[in-house]
């Protein structure tokens, strides 16, 4: 009974508006603490000097001009997928089918490249690639949205399952188009004619996805924040009943939004197949359809914050590859470090939203300090 | 409770409040919306921890760290929004979270004992989602008593109940009181305060202003103390000026998703400059009728004709809700959870104003200036207390939320105003503010449909009252001549006839 007489050791109060500066400071602090914890874990488990590990992570991402470009290219791809998902997330429509939508976009692009090589002028092929990849991506978004609109199916399940269908379709076409026969791979498409290879911008083969990402970021920001569509998306997501009351057609908004979301994912597929890899495999999305969910959530659906979150993830991922080779560690070690850092970044939101009070004596001290 | 203070952000929700409760009494906690009643009680129930002040139970100082801690001290709270698991049955909800092992028959036995003792009616095997609001509330109370509470806190228990259900609740409360339990009830309805409580404690802006013995006070005195100045407790009823038919409803039928006919052959008309009150037990088709007029609810048959000032007729059935609204038919429906229909909790005030206007222009982008001005105006005129226009509306107190909803509908200068439960859960002062607003609309020549719960108010404000019973119109009466008993009879008469027929 005695313990009940006492005030709790810590109790929490919800903070109201925290100034952006303070919130930023908490986040920076979280990263620093995360790095310290990572250092301790590295030291204890591997005995390697953590600073060496850190510098090789940086070397992995920015070690050479080529590495730097690839890092930014990867950031762009992840960012575009995250942005497309965000449009749906704002509607509380949990589109975790980014993977499949990207794959379908890639399939559309590859199909045009393979089937139309030499039959149509290159420019026309590219336009058709754009159309077909966006169309197929949008189709993969449309089907779950239609099911949700008609029968109120759970979109998390349906978008997820659409991923597997997309993978199987790509595998099917890989066998159909394999070069050479029996290899089970498509290989580089149109290696000689370069039909459907997306143009280099300013002489750089890395710049196109980056520019597209910049445009998409601006577009998504304006779309969700300033357009009527964006407003409707929010109302539908927050309160479907209210939407009905003010005369918003909820089904229409579901479908329209998922067309945009899926279409943008399809566009990413085009960039991957036509611009970066010049081939199609079933793993071309490389799990980024799922990673993008994390990117979007961590950024709290803010398009500009997503630039940062997608950068952190790509940076750590590329660094992880580097330390794996340099220190002869398992690639998973890099993932452990990424996990620790993400844990702190996500966890610090708690401290942004809540204030912690220790038992009276200490709070008084704190107050004195604050004064 | 002594010197209790609690801050949120920088606002003091409670500031040095003293509160006493004796064994075997019922105390009403009275105060305007946002005066810190619920916050105070949440500290007693262990949901919040006070920043300052001490709590004594049975003469001993205690620290209540958690709801479990409160339960151990015999304190139990029934919240405004029920905290029940929908897919569980009543008894499952009642025993949920109790750590001691319970065998089911013993638990059920104990539940039925509690029910018998205080006069509750609960079917322990009924699932929560099948229950009416009143049944859910009963489960909540039984749950609290089951855990051995001697101090019960009821947060606005009557806001969602029909008059009959209220009476039943009061009966139970009196039984509990006789059994030596102490009850704190938060309510806005002064007649209930007078009927049930021994003592009234009044809060204003987070501070304790005083207490009165119910037997030696009257509603006027309580209101004045609550608001801090003298308030007029009459509702004016200006004579309608040049009434002309504005809306003619003929033989409307509505069936809900489950195939139940909610509105049956309802016909009536509304005049400009008149208030038509609608009385009826909740769920008698009020919601469906209003939604049908606003174009949100599909009708099976019937017609709704809108007649403008020049005598042009327009058929509303089959029109898009947005077009109906543009004609000047505004609907403000305050649902049981206040939010959810008409407002978006996570959006700020001006964004919520935009809900009505954003569809008007056919441009791609939203116009943010106009809603902001409307928001400023509503906040200003209706004295909405809010930190700013950018505050999400869910953070505001219920009364302020309702002011925003009603204010928005009025700001569109409607020709027909449909309002349902406009003062649901509002304190006296805010309620009268809303009545004034509605009367102002009436004077402007707006045809007003007023769905209300409180018959006294309904009889004071309306020119005519249409009584609904089970989806049918039992009668349309002159509000000046009818008596409360007559309306009460009309509200239930069809139902009574049916019951005897079965």
Same domain, residue pair A228 and A352 = no
Per-residue pLDDT, A167: 95
How high is the ipTM of this complex? 0.74
For tokens 């699932």, the residue is B127
Same domain, residue pair A92 and A32 = no
Same domain, residue pair A201 and A188 = yes
Chain A hits for B372, Cβ within 8 Å: none
What's the per-residue H, E or C state across chain A?
CHHHHCCCCEEEEECCCCCHHHHHHHHHHHHHHHHHHHHHHHHHHHCCCHHHHHHHHHHHHHCCHHHHHHHHHHHHHHHHHHHHHHHHHCCCCCCCCHHHHHHHHHHHHHHHHHHHCCCCCHHHHHHHHHHHHHHHHHHHHHHHHHHHHHHCCCHHHHHHHHHHHHHHHHHHHHHHCCCCCCCCCCCCCCCCCCCCCCCCECCECCHHHHHHHHHHHHHHHHHHHHEHHHHHHHHHHHCHHHHHHCCCCHHHHHHHHHHHHHHHHHHHHHHHHHHHHCCCCCCCCCCHHHHHHHHHHHCCCCHHHHHHHHHHHHHHHHHHHHHHHHCCCCHHHHHHHHHHHHHHHHHHHHHHHEEEEECHHHHHHHHHHHC
**CA–CA separation, B416 vs B245, rounded Å?**
11
Q: Does residue A113 sit within a domain?
A: yes
pLDDT for residue A368 is more than 80: no
Q: Does B9 touch chain A (CB under 8 A)?
A: yes
Pick from B10, B321, B364: CB nearest A247: B321
Q: How far B139 CA lies from chain A's nearest CA (Å)?
A: 27
Same domain, residue pair A225 and A144 = yes
CB within 8 Å: B63 and A7: yes
Count contacts between A and B (CB, < 8 Å): 85
B353 to chain A: nearest residue by CA?
A: A246
Per-residue pLDDT, A304: 93
Q: Where are the alpha helices (DSSP H) in B53-162?
A: 67-72, 90-95, 104-118, 133-146
Q: What's the topology of domain B245-501? A: Rossmann fold (3.40.50)
Chain B hits for A18, Cβ within 8 Å: none
CB within 8 Å: B9 and A4: no
Q: How far A4 CA lies from chain B's nearest CA (Å)?
A: 6
What CATH number should be reported for the domain whose range is B2-227? 3.40.50.300
Our CA angle for B476, B482, B487, nearest 5°, is 65
Per-residue pLDDT, B497: 43
Q: What is the CATH number of the domain that holds A314?
A: 1.10.3470
Q: Does B74 touch chain A (CB under 8 A)?
A: no
pLDDT in tens, A17-60: 667 788 888 888 888 898 899 888 888 888 888 888 888 888 88
Same domain, residue pair A177 and A272 = yes
Domain parsing of chain B, residue ranges: 2-227, 245-501
Per-residue pLDDT, A352: 79
Q: How far A228 CA lies from chain B's nearest CA (Å)?
A: 5
pLDDT in tens, A269-302: 999 999 898 999 988 888 899 999 999 998 889 9
Position with higher pLDDT, B77 vs A81: A81
CB within 8 Å: A235 and B333: no
pLDDT for residue A163 is more than 80: yes
Same domain, residue pair A337 and A221 = no
Same domain, residue pair A342 and A294 = no
B329, β-bridge pairs? B416
**CA–CA separation, B29 vs A129, rounded Å?**
69
Same domain, residue pair A295 and A245 = yes
pLDDT tens track, chain B, 502 positions: 666 777 665 667 788 888 888 888 888 888 877 778 888 888 888 888 888 888 888 778 888 888 888 888 888 888 877 788 888 888 888 888 776 666 778 888 888 888 888 888 888 888 888 887 788 888 888 888 888 888 888 888 877 677 777 888 888 888 888 888 889 998 877 888 888 888 888 888 888 888 888 888 888 888 888 877 777 777 778 888 778 888 888 888 988 777 788 888 888 888 888 999 998 877 778 888 888 888 888 888 888 888 888 878 888 888 888 788 777 777 776 665 566 677 888 888 888 888 877 766 667 787 788 888 888 888 887 778 777 788 888 877 767 788 888 888 888 788 888 888 888 767 777 788 888 888 888 888 888 888 887 788 888 889 999 988 888 888 888 888 888 778 877 877 654 444 443 3
Q: Does residue A85 sit within a domain?
A: yes
Per-residue pLDDT, B335: 63
Per-residue pLDDT, A370: 39
Contact (Cβ atoms closer than 8 angstroms) between residue A285 and residue A85: no
Best of A232, A242, A244, A252 to disrupt the B interface (most B CBs within 10 Å) is: A242
Residue A38: domain span: 15-48+330-371
Do B2-227 and B245-501 have matching folds? yes
Same domain, residue pair A212 and A291 = yes
Q: Does B344 touch chain A (CB under 8 A)?
A: yes
Q: How far A356 CA lies from chain B's nearest CA (Å)?
A: 12
What is the DSSP annotation of B377-394?
HHHHHTT---S-TTSBGG
Contact (Cβ atoms closer than 8 angstroms) between residue B55 and residue B61: yes
Number of domains in chain A: 2
Per-residue pLDDT, A367: 42
Give the mean pLDDT of A296-315: 91
Per-residue pLDDT, B214: 82
Q: Does residue A356 sit within a domain?
A: yes
Same domain, residue pair A114 and A168 = yes
Same domain, residue pair A90 and A112 = yes
Per-residue pLDDT, A1: 38
CB within 8 Å: A4 and B69: yes
Same domain, residue pair A337 and A312 = no
Q: Does residue A107 sit within a domain?
A: yes
């Amino acid at each position: 009974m005695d313990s009940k007489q006492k005030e709790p050791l810590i109790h929490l109060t919800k903070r109201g508006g925290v100034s952006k500066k303070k919130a930023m400071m908490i986040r920076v602090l979280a990263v620093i603490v995360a790095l310290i914890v990572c250092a301790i874990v590295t030291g204890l488990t591997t005995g390697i000097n953590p600073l060496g590990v850190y510098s090789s992570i940086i070397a992995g991402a920015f070690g050479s001009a080529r590495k730097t470009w690839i890092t930014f290219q990867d950031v762009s791809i992840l960012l575009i997928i995250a942005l497309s998902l965000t449009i749906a997330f704002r509607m509380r429509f949990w589109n975790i089918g980014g993977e499949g939508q990207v794959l379908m976009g890639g399939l559309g692009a590859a199909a045009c490249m393979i089937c139309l090589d030499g039959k149509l002028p290159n420019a026309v092929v590219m336009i058709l690639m754009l159309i077909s990849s966006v169309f197929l991506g949008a189709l993969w978004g449309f089907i779950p949205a239609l099911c949700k609109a008609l029968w109120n199916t759970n979109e998390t399940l349906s978008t997820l399952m659409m991923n597997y269908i997309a993978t199987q379709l790509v595998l099917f076409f890989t066998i159909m188009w394999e070069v050479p026969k029996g290899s089970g791979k498509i290989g580089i498409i149109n290696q000689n004619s370069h039909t459907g290879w997306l143009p280099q911008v300013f002489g750089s083969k890395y710049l196109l996805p980056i520019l597209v990402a910049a445009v998409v970021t601006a577009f998504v920001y304006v779309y969700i924040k300033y357009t009527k569509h964006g407003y409707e998306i929010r109302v539908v997501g927050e309160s479907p009943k209210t939407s009905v009351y003010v005369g918003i057609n909820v089904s229409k908004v579901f479908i329209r939004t998922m067309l945009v979301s899926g279409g943008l994912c399809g566009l990413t597929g085009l960039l991957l197949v036509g611009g970066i890899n010049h081939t199609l495999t079933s793993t071309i999305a490389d799990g980024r359809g799922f990673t993008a969910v994390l990117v979007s959530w961590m950024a709290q659906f803010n398009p500009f914050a997503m630039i940062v979150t997608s950068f952190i993830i790509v940076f750590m991922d590329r660094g992880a590859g580097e330390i794996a080779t340099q220190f002869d560690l398992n690639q998973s070690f890099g993932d452990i470090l990424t996990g620790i850092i993400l844990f702190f970044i996500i966890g610090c939101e708690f401290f942004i939203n809540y204030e912690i009070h220790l038992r009276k004596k200490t709070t008084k001290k704190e107050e004195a300090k604050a004064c | 409770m002594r010197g209790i203070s609690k801050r949120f952000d920088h606002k003091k929700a409670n500031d040095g409040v003293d509160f006493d409760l004796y064994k075997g009494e019922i105390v009403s906690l009275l105060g305007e919306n946002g005066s810190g009643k619920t916050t105070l009680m949440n500290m007693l129930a262990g949901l919040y921890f006070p920043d300052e002040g001490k709590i004594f139970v049975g003469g001993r100082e205690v620290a209540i760290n958690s709801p479990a801690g409160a339960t151990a001290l015999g304190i139990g709270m029934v919240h405004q929004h029920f905290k029940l698991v929908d897919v569980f049955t009543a008894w499952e909800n009642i025993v949920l979270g109790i750590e001691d092992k319970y065998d089911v028959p013993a638990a059920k036995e104990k539940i039925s004992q509690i029910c018998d003792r205080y006069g509750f009616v609960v079917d322990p095997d009924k699932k929560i989602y099948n229950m009416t609001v009143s049944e859910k509330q009963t489960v909540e109370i039984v749950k609290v008593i089951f855990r051995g509470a001697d101090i019960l806190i009821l947060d606005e228990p009557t806001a969602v109940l029909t008059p009959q259900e209220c009476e039943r609740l009061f009966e139970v409360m009196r039984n509990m009181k006789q059994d030596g339990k102490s009850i704190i009830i938060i309510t806005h309805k002064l007649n209930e305060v007078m009927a049930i409580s021994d003592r009234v404690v009044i809060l204003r802006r987070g501070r304790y202003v005083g207490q009165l013995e119910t037997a030696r006070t009257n509603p006027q005195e309580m209101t004045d103390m609550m608001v801090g100045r003298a308030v007029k407790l009459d509702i004016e009823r200006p004579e309608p000026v040049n009434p002309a038919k504005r809306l003619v409803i003929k033989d409307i039928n509505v069936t809900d998703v489950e195939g139940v006919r909610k509105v049956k052959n309802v016909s009536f008309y509304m005049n400009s400059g008149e208030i038509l009150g609608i009385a009826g037990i909740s769920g008698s088709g009020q919601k469906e009728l209003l939604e049908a007029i606003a174009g949100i609810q599909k009708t099976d048959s019937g017609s709704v004709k809108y007649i403008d000032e020049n005598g042009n007729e327009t058929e509303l059935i089959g029109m898009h809700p947005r077009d109906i609204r543009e004609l000047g038919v505004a609907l403000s429906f305050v649902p049981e959870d206040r939010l959810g229909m008409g407002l978006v909790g996570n959006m700020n005030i001006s964004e919520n104003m935009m809900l009505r206007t954003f569809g008007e222009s056919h441009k791609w982008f939203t116009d943010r200036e106009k809603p902001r001005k409307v928001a400023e105006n509503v906040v200003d005129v209706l004295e909405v207390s809010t930190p700013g226009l950018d505050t999400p509306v869910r953070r505001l107190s219920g009364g302020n939320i309702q002011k925003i909803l009603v204010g928005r509908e009025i700001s569109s200068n409607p020709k027909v105003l449909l309002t349902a439960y406009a003062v649901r859960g509002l304190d006296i002062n805010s309620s009268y503010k809303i009545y004034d607003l509605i009367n102002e609309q009436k004077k402007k020549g707006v045809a007003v449909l007023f769905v209300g719960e409180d018959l006294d108010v309904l009889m004071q404000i309306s020119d005519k009252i249409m009584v609904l019973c089970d989806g049918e119109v039992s009668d349309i009466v002159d509000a000046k001549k009818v008596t409360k008993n007559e309306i009460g009879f009309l509200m239930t008469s069809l139902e009574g006839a049916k019951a005897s027929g079965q």
